[in-house]
Amino acid sequence: MVVMVEGLVANAVNCGETDKMLTLITRQYGKLSVYCRGGRRISSNFMTGSLKFTYGDYVINKTEKLNLLQEANAKMSFFDLHKNICAASLADYICEVLSDVTMPEEPDNDMLDLALNCLYVLSEGKRAPDDVKTVFEWRMAEHLGVCPDLSGCHKCGKADKEWYYLDIMNGELTCRDCGKGADEKQADEDDGTAKITVMMSGAEVYAANRIINADKSRMFSLPKDEKIKKRLGEVSEKYLCNHLERSYKTLEFYKEISKM
């Protein structure tokens, strides 16, 4: 069956001497593995459209055994990502998470649009990479339906406290008065199960709420305070990776590169 799809090349792996295997995140069929015959040849019609981070239109011969690329027309290449190793390494992380959470035959255009917005901002240099990472992680948690309830303390309901503890696994806030001095990682005395808690100031909770609930045009409006921004990124990373129940080598590489 020949199909036309619109999607993002989230990964491209070399095969043989001249071929590629693409991971496409498509609007019509979710995640697709697509074989690109001759895609590494300079003369190939697939050369531009099969580059990693490219968004375009694709014609695919979709079979039970193999999805074979027949046409590729790039709409956006985000070419400047390839000129900046820090931006490219963060883009790798964004695409790996997107590939991880997108299932075959189960498209999610909201998550695809989030990744595309982040790649665009990164490519254009409109925001610092760490800011893009923070926004991506908070918004991805929201799209996955695992976003924490940051409306106030889940015990007393108060939303005007100076400090809170965020239960990473349950997505609940507890104010300092109700939290009994929770640590970053502690055992629950009631049922013996392990909990991971992180401390967040009221200003940090407010800023996280703004990122999560802002419309697309304002979701990159982070606070100017560098300490708050740094803490927001630390919490968003810990929160998302714990809920996805895995670590990412692309994330670790980005963190190493960004220190240089």
pLDDT at position 237 over 70:
yes
Q: What is the mean pLDDT of residues 148-154?
A: 96
> Which CATH number belongs to the domain containing residue 48 in this structure?
2.40.50.140
Q: 98 and 69 in one domain? A: no
Do 135 and 238 have their domain in common?
A: yes
189: confidence class by pLDDT, cuts 50, 70, 90: very low
End residue of a domain, out of 31, 47, 77: 77
The distance of Cα 44 from the centroid of its chain, to the nearest Å, equals: 31
The pLDDT-based confidence of 182 (bands split at 50, 70, 90) is low
- Residues 10, 73 share a domain: yes
In a domain, 124, yes or no: yes
pLDDT tier at 181 (50, 70, 90 boundaries)? low
Question: Do 92 and 41 fall within a single domain?
Answer: no
Contacts of 128 (CB under 8 A, 6+ apart): none
Boundary-marking domain end, from 26, 45, 77: 77
- The C-alpha atoms of residue 58 and residue 70 are separated, in whole angstroms, by 8
Share of the chain above pLDDT 70, in %: 95
Mean pLDDT of 226-242: 97
Which of 37-51, 148-162, 176-190 is the least confident region?
A: 176-190
Taking the model in full, what pTM does it have? 0.93
Q: What mean pLDDT comes out for the span 221-234?
A: 96
Helix (H, G, I), strand (E, B) or coil at 217: helix
Counting the structural domains of the chain, the total is 2
Q: Is residue 121 part of a domain?
A: yes
**Is residue 120 domain-shared with residue 68, that is, in the same domain?**
no
CB 170 within 8 A of CB 242: no
Count other Cβ atoms within 10 Å, centred on residue 87: 23
Enter the tokens of residue 134.
């923070």
As given in the structure block, the two tokens for residue 13 are: 């792996």
| CA distances for 35 relative to 47, 204, 209, angstroms | 13, 45, 41
192 in any annotated domain: no
Do residue 105 and residue 73 come from a single domain?
A: no
For residue 98, the one-letter residue type is L
pLDDT at 190 over 90: no
Tens digits of residue pLDDT in 88-140: 999 999 999 999 999 999 999 999 999 999 999 999 999 999 999 999 999 99
Write down the pLDDT at residue 226: 96
Domain shared by 56 and 8, yes or no: yes
Pair (64, 6) in one structural domain: yes
In the listed set 22, 53, 77, which residue is the last one of a domain according to the structure?
Answer: 77
Give residue 133's domain range: 85-145+225-258
Phi, psi (deg, nearest 5) at residue 169: -75, -35
Asked if residue 186 has pLDDT above 60, the reply is: no
The pLDDT assigned to 187 comes to: 41
- Mean pLDDT estimate for the chain: 93
Q: 127 lies in a domain? A: yes
Helix ranges (H only) for the chain are: 85-101, 109-124, 129-143, 202-213, 226-244, 249-258
- Residue 183 inside a domain? The answer is no
> Do 36 and 63 belong together in one domain?
yes
